[in-house]
Amino acid sequence: MSFSALGLDSKILQAVKEAGYTEPTPIQVAAIPPILAGHDLIGIAQTGTGKTAAFTLPMLTKLATVVGDGRQRGTLALVLAPTRELVFQIEENVKAYGKHLPLRVATVFGGVGEHPQINALRAGTHLIIACPGRLMDLMQRRYADFSHLQYLVLDEADRMLDMGFLPSIRQIVRSVPQKRQTLLFSATLSKEIETLTHEFQHQPKLVQIGRRSNPAETVTQLVYEVPKSLKTALLVHLLKEPAMDMVLVFTRMKHAADRLARQLEQNGVKTATLHSNRSQNQRLKALKDFKSGVVSVLVATDIAARGIDVDGISHVVNYDFPMHSEDYVHRIGRTGRAHAVGDAISFVTPEDHGELRALERFIGRGIVRKRAEGFNYAQVVPHVVEDRPRHQQQGRGQQSRPQRGQSGGQPRPQHSSSQSRSPQSRPPQGGRPQYGGSGGRPQPGGGRPQEPVSGNREGGNERHFPSARPQGHVRRFGPR
């Protein structure tokens, strides 16, 4: 079947042809006709099968008849997505397929200045593509008017709900007209989440391509069982293969992604990182360098990697095995996109065997185990202290450096704040000194003079007013 047989607008067909696409994917064939007919729809298909075009093409076709005469004002369509990267991907698709239409498009997400986004909302931009968090913030400040909205799309709906966006989504849905067309698309959609869709949709059609738990069939899946201490060494060993020229590596934590990237750089591997602690410019540069080949490895976390649409990824490596089977499907879907071939490699430590068995039950088949040729599994890797914040590496009360006022490591006089922090200097009777009087105000001779205090906890007064401390009294401090 060709795109022309789906009933799309002629200007949309021209843009699709110019983009180099000739035949629609199965999800596009199944989803576009009911969307054009005006039905609400739930679309489930594997990652990389063309879900974005499955809702953008028919939505643009319907918008073409409205925005063409220039009389329609106000925002007509709203697309919600969980991450900035996915927002950018959708925007690229919309601009590519709608370039022959007089369509105004804007994006709304956090991490960047809000003024251009406010201006776009106030101007009634035809199509808004947004992350729920920032959009909800601007809506609460009355910058958005969706009274003319006709189309609402929830892309990667399962991930948005998993990330805790359900309250925001509910508020957004309550703010748009009840008479609208609502579309939900995702690679995975649990039965529980399908139940929630009845809040947002009216008699939706269900389009499901393949089993809901199936990874892409063009992806070769392999498991390397390896001790946790050897994972980095094994990755460096595998990256020496010429075939691993464009590799996406997943870690569970942001600090682990940064640490792994530094270790790979130390071994001569050009690497970039992508996670939520990176600024928007840093994330865009990382994707640009990865796409252009400036770096051969991109280390990312699950949430940040949603929406990565990069052609030619040769391998996906699960450096940290995913805790949830759905995340595995999403991860390895970054390769083998649009019927291309790719490899998915998972490092499994003894602690990961439970998650591995759960994954194999989820996808309905076992995953081939493999050992790396030429890799020394018996090697001893020197222990490297992980980077931690300074206050975790050394407490304030530790004696690794001289305290202020000390010389030569000699103990300070009893009235010093250093000794007041020492457990050996606590009063022999234990507990806090008791003060006379009422209302908690210290009385003369009761352990502390009547001096003005700052209210700062943990001895702030003693540090700022050293003369106010009696010579015979020692303030007790707990260990920090």
Type of residue at 36 = L
Of 21, 63, 24, 59, which Cα lies nearest the Cα of 45? 24
Residue bearing the bigger pLDDT, 476 or 41: 41
What are the tens digits of pLDDT across the range 213-240?
A: 556 667 889 999 999 999 999 999 999 9
User: What HEC string does 382-445 produce?
Assistant: CCCCCCCCHHHHCCCCCCCCCCCCCCCCCCCCCCCHHHHCCHHHCCCCCCCCCCCCCCCCCCCC
Give residue 74's pLDDT band: very low, low, confident or very high (50, 70, 90): confident
pLDDT at 306: 63
Give residue 194's pLDDT band: very low, low, confident or very high (50, 70, 90): confident
pLDDT at 320 over 80: yes
Q: Where is mean pLDDT largest: 192-196, 389-393, 436-440?
A: 192-196
pLDDT at 323 over 70: yes
pLDDT at 392 over 80: no
The rounded distance, in Å, linking the Cα atoms of 479 and 190 is 48
First-last CA distance in the chain: 70
The rounded distance, in Å, linking the Cα atoms of 239 and 379 is 18
Give residue 55's pLDDT band: very low, low, confident or very high (50, 70, 90): very high
pLDDT at 179: 93
Q: Where is mean pLDDT largest: 64-68, 152-156, 439-443?
A: 152-156
pLDDT at 161: 77
Of 115, 177, 186, 127, which Cα lies nearest the Cα of 148? 177
Could you tell me the pTM of the whole model?
Answer: 0.64
Which residues, including other chains, have CB under 8 Å from residue 168's CB and lie 6 or more apart?
A: 132, 133, 135, 136
What are the tens digits of pLDDT across the range 271-291?
A: 999 887 888 788 888 888 998
Domains in the chain: ranges and CATH: 3-208 (3.40.50.300), 219-387 (3.40.50.300)
pLDDT at 457 over 70: no
pLDDT at 47: 67
Structure tokens at 472: 């015979």
Helix/strand/coil for 231:
helix
The rounded distance, in Å, linking the Cα atoms of 198 and 202 is 7
pLDDT at 95 over 70: yes
Mean pLDDT for the chain overall: 79
pLDDT at 373 over 50: yes
pLDDT at 28 over 90: yes
Which residues, including other chains, have CB under 8 Å from residue 187's CB and lie 6 or more apart?
A: 44, 45, 46, 47, 51, 156, 158, 326, 329, 330, 333
What distance lies between CA 247 and its chain's CA centroid?
A: 19
pLDDT at 448 over 60: no
pLDDT at 338: 53
Which of 65-79, 88-102, 134-148 has the lowest average pLDDT?
A: 65-79
pLDDT at 371: 93
